[in-house]
Structure 1
Amino acid sequence: MIRAYLKKKEMENSMHYNWGIVGSGWIAHDMANALIQEGVGIYGVASGHYSSAKKFSEEFSIEHVYETYQVMFEDENIDIVYIATPHNSHYEIMKEALTHNKHVFCEKAITLNSMELNECVEIAKKRHLVISDGVTLFHMPLFKELKKVISSNSLGPVKMVQVNFGSFKEYDVKNRFFNPDLAGGALLDIGVYAVSFARWFMSSKPNTVLTTMTPFETGVDESSGILLKNIENEIATISLTMRAKQPKRGLVACENGYIEVYNFPRADKAKITYTKDGHTEEIVCGESGLALNYEIRDMEEYVSSLNGQENLSYVCDVMDVLTEVQRLWGKYE
């Protein structure tokens, strides 16, 4: 499947842009591999440590290595900046990239709160730039297909969305997942995906947010429950934890049936059950192993048309919810 996809890409005559990678960790490695598969130019790389960036450049045959992020942003040959640093640094790096007229594709969580994101969005609007983020499900073909199923009304109106996401992080108070100085906690790590799943299927942004949270000993959120409702009276329930494994399961309950998606962040199949007679239907679309490839294709399309507003609206809605959840936990007053 991947080989066939890449062969198809070779036959397409689409415009590509020069990407600059900020960061040299594992997700930057994965994105570099995907960019190479797509035939996209990795023009340069910068990291917090020049030696790391140099090693990264040698691994992927990247010609330009920059001493600092700012030096990269000053290079007029770079069109798109991909930010793969820890999310507590995203805001400052993204703002700097935007003020140097670079389009930005940023890993999740795109910022720590909606105040930071809104500031970056305003800069992007004034400069006619594109912002998108690495919530893979927004770019997976399956979710675009499921959106069509919901829009067709074959299942009737959405009534409730349920999302579970639990990962088990080894007990280590020094790990970034548990470090408050690095914006640790389940919400900004795995909760971004869960809230994104809920928002994708809800007709509008939630205007009611309720939540409860159990803190880890360092003060970050270890486990939480989140309840959302919008003006259409659609309800979403979300459960998160990073000290107990849960299946990555999303369920969309409609009047005439329900959709189940497992491993939803990069899912390529879903099951629909029709409640009237109990028959089921499986939808297979895309391929989970190409998740980052889909992100690249969408981002380049957004830049080519200067039209990523629908995607950005979801990103902003999700961050608004995440910020309100944190406010209810006492973080923002």
Structure 2
Amino acid sequence: MADENVSAPLDAEAAAKAAFAAVANQGFPSDIFTAPQLRWAVVGCGVIANQMAESLTLAGRHLLGVQNRTRAKAEGFASAHGVERVYDTFADLCADPDVDAVYVTTPHNTHIRYLREALAAGKHVLCEKSITLNSAELDCARALALANNVVLMDATTILHMPLYQVLLARAKAGEFGRMNLAQVNFGSFKPYDPKSRFYNRGLAGGAVLDIGVYALSIMRLFMESAPTEVASLGNTCETGVDVAGGAVCRNPEGQIGVISLTLHSKQPKRAVISFDKCYIEVDQYPRADTARIVWTEDGRVEEVSAGTEAYALCYEMADLERAVAGDAEAARLIDYAADVMSVMDKLRADWGVVYPEEEK
């Protein structure tokens, strides 16, 4: 008989609300924002933008500015979150000399347009996943960042959560032995609506760019190098975007990653990273702050905690500020994003998923 006291994991938005509520009466940690503070503006007023503004409020900080396609929505966002400036156009935002960094939270297919404009204007940029549609766009953005001496950073949470920094440090020190296999799944039930961002080809919908980026990011983090071989099967729907798929990836060191994705079924977001001496289990891995290490020799279970789920977006912004201040390790996070993008390109090519912007 099922245990009636066990609840299924919350969806992403509900989980974020629960995480914020859990820390509402706690003091903000002093070790998150350690670099000189930048003045931030955001483009887009959706779920992520609101979560980011709430995260900053926990830290006692506020955005300087906001721009959105609909000014009324931007004004409502500014009123709700204590944002000082509302811009009519993105060009106005980029022209503001008081803005140091921009957080791009708009749909995937619009990212490169905002990246080009912001980077060319000398703004540092943190961009929501998927950072671009493909590797060609990301290469273009990285070249612009280099040419204008600014930092470009991918906001995929896995790249920034302290839990993974702790686990990676131990792995690189050799404590776990050789990494052999990563098994990662992500299942999300999204009712079919061809106009929704999940299924709309015109909005760069599909499982790979929306949820696959998380699975591939945690896989890549624990691999010694990027995968060079990818074998996969994927299903598409009538709009032409991918809705489910599985892939096996292998790098030159022989390390293997196995991922499964679906927009049609709820699954636990679970990652298992296997080493010679142990395996690591991480549930709800996109913003995880806890993990279990099961040691091979004696079956001992070690609980590891680092960071706090509620501060996920603060960790992203703090990493960009550290990179701007000269932290080379933070600046190199974009390399992981580039490796993940290469795998996503291969998956979409194999499955025949092409977006309108790629047909021009």
Range class of TM-score, shorter chain: over 0.9
**Alpha-carbon spacing, 1:75–1:248, altered in 2? closer, same or farther (3 Å):** same
Gaps of 5+ in 2: 1-21
Match of 2:331 among 296, 309, 312: 309
Q: Residue 200 in 1 paired to residue 221 in 2?
A: yes
Q: Distance in 1 between matches of 2:27 and 2:241?
A: 41
Q: Distance in 2 between matches of 1:24 and 1:304?
A: 28
The answer to whether the Cα contact below 8 Å between 1:207 and 1:231 also exists between their aligned partners in 2 is yes
Match of 1:24 among 36, 39, 45: 45
Deviates more, 1:30-39 or 1:300-309: 300-309
Q: Residue 65 in 1 paired to residue 91 in 2?
A: no
Match of 1:287 among 305, 308, 311: 308
TM-score relative to the length of structure 1: 0.95
Match of 2:345 among 309, 317, 323: 323
Match of 1:56 in 2: 77
Which has the larger share of strand?
1
Following superposition, the deviation at residue 170 of structure 1 comes to: 1.3
The answer to whether the Cα contact below 8 Å between 1:141 and 1:268 also exists between their aligned partners in 2 is yes
Match of 1:176 in 2: 197
C-alpha deviations, 1:254-278, integer Å up to 9, x for none?
Answer: 1121111000001111111111221
Name the aligned partner's letter for residue 64 of structure 1: R
**Alpha-carbon spacing, 1:268–1:306, altered in 2? closer, same or farther (3 Å):** closer
Match of 2:212 in 1: 191
Name the aligned partner's letter for residue 328 of structure 1: D
Deviates more, 1:16-25 or 1:38-47: 38-47
Match of 1:93 in 2: 114
Return structure 1 stretches of 4+ with deviation > 6 angstroms.
Answer: none
Q: Distance in 1 between matches of 2:143 and 2:59?
A: 31
The answer to whether the Cα contact below 8 Å between 1:142 and 1:269 also exists between their aligned partners in 2 is yes
Match of 2:188 in 1: 167
Name the aligned partner's letter for residue 241 of structure 2: V
The answer to whether the Cα contact below 8 Å between 1:130 and 1:306 also exists between their aligned partners in 2 is no
1:134-153 aligned at under 5 Å gives the runs 134-153=155-174
The answer to whether the Cα contact below 8 Å between 1:128 and 1:306 also exists between their aligned partners in 2 is no
Name the aligned partner's letter for residue 95 of structure 2: E
Following superposition, the deviation at residue 154 of structure 1 comes to: 2.2
C-alpha deviations, 1:229-266, integer Å up to 9, x for none?
Answer: 00100000000001001110001111121111000001
The answer to whether the Cα contact below 8 Å between 2:130 and 2:209 also exists between their aligned partners in 1 is yes
Match of 2:6 in 1: none
TM-score relative to the length of structure 2: 0.88
Q: CA RMSD in A?
A: 1.8
Match of 2:253 in 1: 232
C-alpha deviations, 1:17-76, integer Å up to 9, x for none?
Answer: 110110011111111111232334411110011111111111122221111111110111
Following superposition, the deviation at residue 5 of structure 1 comes to: 4.8
Deviates more, 1:113-122 or 1:125-134: 125-134
The answer to whether the Cα contact below 8 Å between 1:130 and 1:302 also exists between their aligned partners in 2 is yes
1:269-284 aligned at under 5 Å gives the runs 269-284=290-305
1:77-156 aligned at under 5 Å gives the runs 77-156=98-177
Name the aligned partner's letter for residue 122 of structure 1: A
The answer to whether the Cα contact below 8 Å between 1:178 and 1:184 also exists between their aligned partners in 2 is yes
Identity of matched residues, % = 41
Residue 148 of structure 1 aligns to a residue in which SS?
A: helix
The answer to whether the Cα contact below 8 Å between 2:281 and 2:291 also exists between their aligned partners in 1 is yes
